[in-house]
Amino acid sequence: MSSKIPVSPSNLALRRPRRAPWLCLLAVLGLHGLALREAPSWLARPAQAASEVPASPRSVSTRTMSVPTEHVAPAAPAPIATVADVTPTRAVAPARRPAAPTPSIHHVVALNDAAASAATSAAPAPEQASVPADPSSHRPPVTAPAPIRLDYKLQRGAIGGEARLDWRHDGRRYTLDLDGQLPLIGTLMHQHSEGGFDAAGLAPLRYTERRLRRSERAVNFNRPADGQGGRITFSATTGEAPLRSGAQDRVSWMVQLAARLAGHSALPAVGSRIEMDVASAGGDVQDWHFVLQGRATDGSWHWRRDTGEPDATQAEVWTDPTAGHWPRRVRLTERQGEPIELVLRKR
């Protein structure tokens, strides 16, 4: 049988001490809560960040920070280069080959024999005989005669008239005219040649001819820039012929002969030869071989064309060694025609 302890003030005093631990616990918890409440907010952020899960990707904002840079003064502009400032180094493109030298502008174009041989080596040409001034010399340099105007007495059969030869050049290009006039008839012939110069002497480009009761006819000397494969064409025919070195027309041959003989004062050996091609307006090219016959009584050198063809043009010329070997007398005989003769008047 259990006994009951009577309730009394003393008994209550004995029970109160048992509540003290719970009260202490509550007090401690309250103090901790107050401490957490008053703690800085940054102590709570890690826990908050760890407990929060974003529902969507968080946008990230960036901020551009300006970095102070050292102020640099602008560089002075480079000077503009002038022709005097620039020293040439290597050309961007290969330089063009310089043009072949042209004859002098002062009457004389001395072109040596070696240059003439080089110009003729590419194409076959008849052997050019030399006209030595002495046994030890070779063919003399080709020299363009000084510009000149010569008056001749013209004779055709029994009819006499006047003729004028007009030779002009500037050292690069030339023009040559021969006009023949007969009384009561007018112009018997007009021959015109124009061209330049090369290593062989005169280099015609075009020749025109107008004769009595005939229309004008022309010969063209087509000379490529490289000097190879030139052709001679004619207005009177569709035919053509190869252009060989030293080829002339029916009036330039007289000047070419004087050019070939320039510098010769001593008479070469009789039988010496000078050769050249001569193109006519009729459409053919003939080999003209002049053979020295000797000295005439007036001191001129007598040359005759050597040809075994009866229909070929017969040509004789007397050159004056005291006057640049200009023709003192010329006689031409065409096939089935009367000879035409030019005799130089006193100058």
Answer yes or no: is 27 within a domain.
no
**Does residue 331 have a pLDDT over 70?**
yes
Question: For residue 27, with 0-12 CB atoms within 10 Å meaning exposed, 13-18 middle and 19 or more buried, which class applies?
Answer: exposed
If we measure between CA atoms, which residue out of 299, 324, 277 comes closest to residue 107?
Answer: 324
More confident residue, 11 or 46: 11
More confident residue, 146 or 3: 146
Answer yes or no: is 70 within a domain.
no
CA distances from 263 to 32, 143, 144, 243, 320 (A): 137, 8, 11, 27, 12
Range of the domain at 129: 113-344
Considering the chain, what percentage of its residues have pLDDT values greater than 70? 59
Answer yes or no: is 14 within a domain.
no
Answer yes or no: is 47 within a domain.
no
Confidence of residue 112 (pLDDT cuts 50, 70, 90): very low
Answer yes or no: is 41 within a domain.
no
Contacts of residue 68, Cβ cutoff 8 Å, sequence gap at least 6: none
Answer yes or no: is 321 within a domain.
yes
pLDDT for the residue 21: 58
Confidence of residue 165 (pLDDT cuts 50, 70, 90): very high
With residue 106 as reference, give the H or E element that holds it: none
pLDDT for the residue 307: 86
pTM for the whole thing?
0.61
**Does residue 224 have a pLDDT over 90?**
yes
Of the listed ranges 101-115, 180-194, 238-252, the one predicted with least confidence: 101-115
Answer yes or no: is 313 within a domain.
yes
pLDDT for the residue 56: 44
Domain count, the chain: 1
pLDDT for the residue 311: 80
Answer yes or no: is 340 within a domain.
yes
**Does residue 292 have a pLDDT over 50?**
yes
